[in-house]
Amino acid sequence: MVERDWTTRTPEPGATLEAEGITIRCHRQDAATLVSGDLAAAIKELAPSAQMLGLLELLPGAPFALRIARDRALLCTRDPLASEGWYNGFAASAADDLYLEFVVTGQRAPEVVASCMSEQPGSRSAATLFAGYGALVARLPNGVSVRIQAPEAAAAWAHLANVIKVL
């Protein structure tokens, strides 16, 4: 059926967009767990050394948690957690396939970020609109990490391809 042939394909992990001074790479989100409820209890139980991060905060090495809302976060660890289900005050669900990570690097990375979102550093939530799609955005030492929900990744990737053409 022709109507099922999508013109914009979801980027595969390893896909790269490049322009002068800009590189955007797609990475798979491994070892991610969506936690809901009492976030402090969840972090203490599942990854005691994890830092809770807000918008554009610097990503440390794993483990870390990106706050989505007051009662929700994406916990990223080195290895997948075997803990899923309801606990005392929180729930945990595997989320390895929920997001794709776009890593934007290069001397012109700030221009890409400025064209895709209004910076709101200091927000306790890492969630924002990026290229018009819900995303979790954090800083890297040499760029920005953008986690886009997998169903929206194709459209966001196509948008980024157009943005770097005109910058």
Instruction: Examine the fold and report which residue of 94, 125, 143 is the final residue of a domain before the chain moves on.
Output: 94
Same domain, 103 and 25: yes
Judge if 72 and 132 occupy the same domain.
Answer: no
Q: Which residue has 């200091």 as its token pair?
A: 122
Q: What is the pLDDT of residues 53-97, one digit of tens each?
A: 999 999 998 899 999 999 999 999 998 887 789 998 999 999 999
Q: Say how many domains are in the chain.
A: 2
> Is there a domain that residue 58 lies in?
yes
Q: What is the dihedral of CA 133, 152, 69, 44, to 10 degrees?
A: -140
The number of angstroms, rounded, from the C-alpha of 157 to the middle of its chain's C-alpha atoms is: 13
Chain centre to alpha carbon of residue 147: 2
How does pLDDT run across 10-48, given as a tens digit for each residue?
Answer: 898 999 999 999 999 999 988 999 999 999 999 999 999
* Residues spanned by the domain of 58: 32-94
What pLDDT score does 112 carry? 94
Task: Identify which of 113, 120, 118 has the alpha carbon closest to the alpha carbon of residue 164.
Answer: 113
